[in-house]
Chains A and B, each alone.
Chain A
Amino acid sequence: EAGVAQSPRYKIIEKRQSVAFWCNPISGHATLYWYQQILGQGPKLLIQFQNNGVVDDSQLPKDRFSAERLKGVDSTLKIQPAKLEDSAVYLCASSLQRGQGYEQYFGPGTRLTVT
């Protein structure tokens, strides 16, 4: 089966600019996650969707970050305006369902550099 797809793979922007990342999860996976991974750290959950609804966005900096999953399939994460500290790899993951017992499948990530 096809894995989690993400684009772009790399992005370089200047601070205060905006950027958007796209994710297409594994077919049939109801739960979609966006993580931020700063160099040398573990992935940090930003937002979790169950179908097209948000179930957890407690760690999403809502003043600058937004995400949507309108049709319950693919998703977009946006940053506007970007700050230097947003430089990181943004990982999208999906799982069959929400709840313990379901492993998460990660995409290749988008490496963002903010200058």
Chain B
Amino acid sequence: GQQVMQIPQYQHVQEGEDFTTYCNSSTTLSNIQWYKQRPGGHPVFLIQLVKSGEVKKQKRLTFQFGEAKKNSSLHITATQTTDVGTYFCAGSDSWGKLQFGAGTQVVVTP
């Protein structure tokens, strides 16, 4: 079955620095969604990527979908303390069933 892997598992970042988290699927995806879960909170939808090679930006966050639609990345520039949380990618099949990765837990040091 479909498996979604995320690296790194943990990311310690100094405030103001940039970082990237990666997501890889064992199968070709219909689309990929990204969610953010704050400590003690629930996952909140960030964005969806559908097209091969698609790039979308949300302020300091840049999301990319690979050409083969099997991988994705999230790049955050000028990290802020509000970026703390766990970022999940979730691969979707054509029916919208999501397979979540294990997430990248982001800790920001002031």
Q: Does A56 contact B (CB under 8 A)?
A: yes
- Complex partner residue of A106 from B42, B95, B99, CB under 8 angstroms: B42
Q: Does B33 contact A (CB under 8 A)?
A: yes
Q: Which residues of A contact B88 (CB under 8 A)?
A: 42-43
Which of A15-23, A68-76, A79-87, A92-100 touches B? A92-100
Chain B residues 1 to 53 lying within 8 A of chain A, measured CB to CB, are 4, 30-31, 33, 41-45, 48, 50
Main DSSP-derived SS at the A contact region? loop
Q: Does A48 contact B (CB under 8 A)?
A: yes
A56 to chain B, nearest CB (A): 6
- Complex partner residue of A95 from B42, B50, B96, B103, CB under 8 angstroms: B96
- Complex partner residue of A42 from B44, B45, B50, B100, CB under 8 angstroms: B100
Is there an interface contact between B31 and A42, defined as CB atoms closer than 8 Å?
no
Q: Which residues of A contact B96 (CB under 8 A)?
A: 31, 95, 98-102
Is there an interface contact between B95 and A45, defined as CB atoms closer than 8 Å?
no
Nearest neighbor of B1 in chain A, beta-carbon distance: A58
A4 to chain B, nearest CB (A): 9
Q: Which residues of A contact B33 (CB under 8 A)?
A: 103-104
Q: Does A12 contact B (CB under 8 A)?
A: no
B6 to chain A, nearest CB (A): 8
6 more A-B residue pairs beyond the given contacts A56-B95, A99-B96, with a C-beta to C-beta distance below 8 A: A42-B88, A44-B100, A91-B43, A100-B50, A100-B92, A107-B42
Ordered by A's residue number, 23 sampled pairs between the chains whose C-beta atoms are within 8 Å are A40-B102, A41-B102, A41-B103, A42-B100, A42-B103, A44-B100, A45-B98, A55-B95, A56-B97, A98-B95, A98-B96, A99-B94, A99-B95, A100-B50, A100-B96, A101-B31, A101-B48, A101-B96, A102-B96, A104-B33, A104-B45, A106-B44, A107-B42
Residues of A at the B interface (CB closer than 8 Å) are: 31, 40-45, 48, 55-56, 91, 93, 95, 98-109
